[in-house]
Amino acid sequence: MNHPMRTVDDHLSDILRTVRTLAPLEVDLDQALGTTLAEEVTSPVPLPSFDNSAMDGYAVRAEDLATVPAKLQVLGDIAAGAGRTLAVGPGTAVRIMTGAPVPPGADTVIPVEWTDGGTVEVRIDRQAPEGNAIRRAGEDVSAGQAVLPVGTPIGPAQLGILAGVGRRRVLVRPRPRVVVISTGAELVEPGAPLEAGQLWESNSYTLAAAVQQAGGEGYRAGIVADDPARFLDQLDAQLLRADAVITSGGVSMGAYEPVKEALSPLGTVRFERVAMQPGMPQGFGVVGQDQIPIFALPGNPVSSFVSFMLFVRPALLKMRGLAAGPPYSVRGVTTAPLRSPQGRRSYLRAVLGHDGAVTPVRGQGSHQLAALASANALIAVPEDVTELPEGSNVEVIPL
Ligand SMILES: Nc1nc2c(c(=O)[nH]1)N[C@H]1C(S)=C(S)[C@@H](COP(=O)(O)OP(=O)(O)OC[C@H]3O[C@@H](n4cnc5c(N)ncnc54)[C@H](O)[C@@H]3O)O[C@H]1N2
Ligand code: MOO
């Protein structure tokens, strides 16, 4: 009855071979946060697009300050946004604000703090090198220069430069929309009263939040009891708005395993045992006309979360058009001895300190959600290792 288990790496490879990068879509800048750029963005103009002042002060000719204090006639003001401007000639200055265009004839800006602040005539007490406090046209970007390459994840600074080069719309790989369905007759929405044998449903909150943090849009589609037909109905209804589906529960060896019972006959979803702890029972495949990827994760809360980090997150990165592979990991040194099952790669919940010391938390059961919530990392223990003494150098996946 027990088939050989698949390795974690093989299971991830299958998943990454199957999932497709989402098609590019033109979106408004307001919708672009968290998407991935699908075009190279260039600037139509130099940035800054004109020489402008970096300080509030006076635009002058450096040669007029050969001796200081110097007195210059003030011709007027130039504020930011000013169009045609006054010209500065010998013995004159123009009061200028930060961001305002440097007037013709001026080659230097003197901060107001170095002057008496005069508006008709100004006394300047300090010299400055020619070009002082002037931000030159094109010193950030030249006209036609690429400012963001294809494949850039769009965060706050990237949105800034997109707006800064005048873009209103942009071609991106969108955030994957991921529907999360929880299965189990015992599950009750948090906030509702519990009856005997029931527990508050938590996986959909964890998984939808994990989707969000992985750059997708997570939607909780509620709880389906242990009826395969109802599960298929719910899945059908949700497929309309999904780029991927995550289910939790109903995939192991019990008498009521709705996800497995509903999806196995389709022939496009494979259920298998992966050589890991937690998260051994795993289902993955595609469903519906559009071959939407579906991740059927085990119901135990820690198992579903660890499965997400190892398998679903990399898949979402690929869908977003980003580099995808096993989770990022660092090295750590254990502060306590560890045990791990033979033949399965284990992912022990742990606290990783800034010094690289890593301590497994108390409570390594697949149901021990509070222990998971106290951890900030997973220690990955290889398949063939069953015991490690304190002080061992280990692979650690920050959460
Ligand atoms: N005879 C065997 N039994 C089990 C095996 C096995 O190989 N042989 N595998 C065990 C392992 S390992 C896991 S993991 C679980 C996976 O079971 P299912 O995916 O079928 O999940 P359920 O039975 O539905 O639930 C398991 C556990 O998790 C709780 N749960 C489920 N969904 C939620 C949720 N949304 N929020 C909070 N808690 C949830 C559920 O109440 C159960 O306690 O199977 C083992 N058994
Ligand atoms: O492998 Mo199951 O995922 O612990 O507890």
- Residues 179-210: tens digit of each pLDDT: 999 999 999 999 999 999 999 999 999 999 99
Question: What residue ranges of the chain are covered by domains with CATH 3.90.105.10?
Answer: 25-45+142-173
Nearest CA, atom 4, ligand 2? 278
Question: What residue ranges of the chain are covered by domains with CATH 2.170.190.11?
Answer: 52-135
Task: Report the C-alpha gap between 259 and 297 in whole angstroms.
Answer: 10
CATH code that applies to domain 25-45+142-173: 3.90.105.10
Q: Which two tokens stand for residue 250?
A: 């109903």
Q: What pTM did the predictor assign?
A: 0.92
Q: 204 to each of 177, 188, 355, how far by Cα in Å?
A: 14, 12, 34
CATH code that applies to domain 8-22+174-319: 3.40.980.10
Compute the distance from residue 366 Cα to the ligand 2 centre, in Å: 6
For position 256, what pLDDT does the model report?
81
Q: What residues in the chain have per-residue pLDDT under 50?
A: none
Task: Report the C-alpha gap between 297 and 279 in whole angstroms.
Answer: 8
The DSSP H or E segment spanning 57 is strand 57-60
Closest ligand 2 atom to residue 300 Cα is 5
Task: Report the C-alpha gap between 379 and 396 in whole angstroms.
Answer: 5
Tell me, using a 6 A CB cutoff, whether residue 228 lines ligand 2: no
Tell me, using a 6 A CB cutoff, whether residue 366 lines ligand 2: yes
> For 330-398, which CATH class?
mainly beta
Task: Report the C-alpha gap between 30 and 41 in whole angstroms.
Answer: 17
Contact 302, 370 (CB under 8 A): no
Task: Report the C-alpha gap between 310 and 16 in whole angstroms.
Answer: 11
pLDDT digits (tens, 9 = 90+) for 337-346: 999 999 999 9
Compute the distance from residue 207 Cα to the ligand 2 centre, in Å: 16
For position 1, what pLDDT does the model report?
52
DSSP-derived 3-state class of residue 288: coil
Nearest CA among 264, 380, 343, 283 for reference residue 7: 343
Task: Report the C-alpha gap between 248 and 50 in whole angstroms.
Answer: 57
Tell me, using a 6 A CB cutoff, whether residue 368 lines ligand 2: no
Q: Complex ipTM, two decimals?
A: 0.98
For 165, counting Cβ atoms within 10 Å of its Cβ (0-12 exposed, 13-18 middle, 19+ buried), the class is middle
Task: Report the C-alpha gap between 96 and 322 in whole angstroms.
Answer: 46
For position 300, what pLDDT does the model report?
97
Tell me, using a 6 A CB cutoff, whether residue 307 lines ligand 1: no
Which fold is adopted by the domain 52-135? Molybdopterin biosynthesis moeA protein; domain 3 (2.170.190)
pLDDT digits (tens, 9 = 90+) for 291-320: 999 999 999 999 999 999 999 999 999 999
